Structure 1
């Protein structure tokens, strides 16, 4: 996760949540470590692009599920801004991911029709479950566990694609460029909501548990990729 200097990140509860997420840091997963060393085959990257699209496509529904369960107008507006960023216009995030896949030589139809690995299906179902519970703030914690890691992951992916795979075309890597900044802002909004709505020891405990389950789900997704496509 990108280090944050703002006061909200110095809160003990937030730091405890970040420590739990860090145990399942995506950048420490073998798949991303291999990527960052330039040792992934192009075919493995292509298969990853097909599988990860399941989350890119589903992420707006994670957001809308949390939004629909929130009764606080100010919190709903924070979530809505995030959702708008994901889906609005021709530059919506699923579209940006399809452009990345095309940059790797994978057609849109191949991405959309890909047979999903069991681990991919399980990770999507886990995020759906976490974001569709009765307590919207637990869903926010699950979103935070995911989005707080994205800026640093996106930067490292973009740099690795350029350095090792010659993929520097702005259109092809726009998904990563956008997320280097967008999810810094999204994460900040989610932290503000967590601090405002987790006002008891029990609510903080539940939120931390949701964050850990979310982080573990994404780690499990990468386990599936590694097992299927990395020798």
Structure 2
């Protein structure tokens, strides 16, 4: 017998339950960062590796758009690329992230080159880009729904950085402040799209699996940072070495 899909409310509750169980705000590295426990080199390592993720988000979205036949979906989705890449007269998230890099004493050109990114970071992020490029649109959109859980982590990060680190100010935290307004509109559309297009129980399971996969991509990046720069502190070949790429 074919299983009936859950109600829209129950399906949404399944998606939202993934955050409290799996979102990377619970990772020890983030807890350490937000509470002021990171050394400046650990912060720098995070900035360098997280930039690789930020730089691939518009590439992921461009790959997604290349497969979308619905003009309305393309029109709405392409604002995500502009949010990260910016426009001719408005800087985007990538520019703001490089301001953070400069604030922590890194050469923005070095960070933008993506030299020093940990192998595991590259592997996780590239896997996400391929996932969105190759999987069905429902799973690709569902994977973006980690933004459901992002506002809280941005608020914690802004407050924690401003409280504990001398480099933190309005300019260096501007990336996170902008995401407080950008992310909700993106996720509201994405969530409704997934709720509308997950028509079967299998569709709903696929969406839940996709969102779970995305939380694992984010968690894996922090695992890599912890192992390389906290404990045991074993930096793999090619990983950023402290004192490298500084202003």
TM norm structure 2: 0.84
Q: Whole-Å Cα distance in 2 between the matches of residues 176 and 25 of structure 1?
A: 17
Residue 99 of structure 1 corresponds to 99
Cα pair 1:26 1:149 within 8 Å, conserved: no
Cα deviation, residue 201, structure 1: 1.2
After superposition, where does 1:51-62 map in structure 2 within 5 Å?
51-62=49-60
Residue 116 of structure 2 corresponds to 115
TM norm structure 1: 0.90
**Match of 1:11, SS?**
helix
Q: Is 1:131 paired with 2:132?
A: yes
The size of the alignment, in residue pairs, is 221
Cα pair 2:103 2:168 within 8 Å, conserved: no
User: Which whole-Å deviations, capped at 9, do the CAs of 1:39-80 have from their partners, x for residues lacking one?
Assistant: 111110011101110011000111122222222233222212
User: Which whole-Å deviations, capped at 9, do the CAs of 1:131-190 have from their partners, x for residues lacking one?
Assistant: 012411211111112x22322222211111110003342221110110122111111111
Residue 39 of structure 1 corresponds to 37
User: Which whole-Å deviations, capped at 9, do the CAs of 1:200-221 have from their partners, x for residues lacking one?
Assistant: 1111111111111111111000
Measured on the aligned residues, the alpha-carbon RMSD in Å equals 1.6
Residue 144 of structure 2 corresponds to 143
Indicate how the Cα distance of structure 1 residues 82 and 11 shifts in structure 2: closer, same or farther if over 3 A, else same.
farther
Cα pair 2:138 2:194 within 8 Å, conserved: yes
Of structures 1 and 2, the larger Rg is shown by 2
- For structure 2, the residue ranges without an aligned partner over 5 or more in a row are 1-7, 232-247
Residue 167 of structure 1 corresponds to 167
| 112-121 vs 51-60, greater mean Cα deviation | 112-121
